[in-house]
């Protein structure tokens, strides 16, 4: 079993999700993606495991998005590159277990990975 949480320690939802994860297992890796940004390929893999489109991983209320990208027509590759350059744009927290993942904006949703 391989579990990762892409975590922002200043985000309340991320903190709540981490606490729920700790109740389920101690065998996981914490990735503070703002300190250790993901590569293009890593973001692409996360999107695949979440089974979403890259645009669905974007925090659309972030100032960076509103000022630089909102309203522009962008390909999936361009969106992933934007996240690679600006990790703050990546929705959080993300929990990946093996080949599946969930965005924990509702922290309890990550528990479904353990069913």
CATH at 53: 3.40.30.10
- The model's pTM is 0.93
Q: Which residue has the tokens 């479904």?
A: 112
Backbone angles phi, psi at 28, to 5 degrees: -155, 165
Contacts of 18 (CB under 8 A, 6+ apart): 5, 7, 30, 93
- The predicted-structure confidence for 16-61, as pLDDT tens digits, reads as follows 999 999 999 889 999 999 999 999 999 999 999 999 999 999 999 9
The answer, yes or no, to whether residue 1 has pLDDT greater than 70, is no
> Which positions are annotated as active-site residues?
11
Q: Which domain holds residue 74?
A: 3-114
Q: How sure is the predictor about 115, in pLDDT bands with cuts at 50, 70 and 90?
A: confident
- Beta-bridged to residue 9, according to DSSP, are none
Of 27, 31, 28, the C-alpha closest to 7 is 31
Counting the structural domains of the chain, the total is: 1
């Amino acid at each position: 079993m391989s579990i990762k949480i892409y975590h922002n320690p200043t985000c309340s939802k991320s903190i709540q999700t981490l606490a729920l994860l700790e109740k389920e297992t101690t065998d996981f890796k914490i990735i503070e993606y703002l300190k250790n940004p993901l590569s293009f390929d890593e973001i692409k893999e996360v999107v695949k495991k979440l089974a979403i489109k890259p645009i669905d991983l974007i925090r659309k209320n972030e100032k960076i998005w509103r000022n630089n990208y909102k309203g522009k027509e962008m390909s999936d590759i361009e969106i992933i590159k934007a996240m690679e350059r600006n990790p703050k744009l990546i929705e959080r927290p993300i929990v990946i277990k093996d080949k599946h993942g969930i965005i924990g904006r509702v922290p309890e949703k990550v528990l479904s990975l353990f069913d």
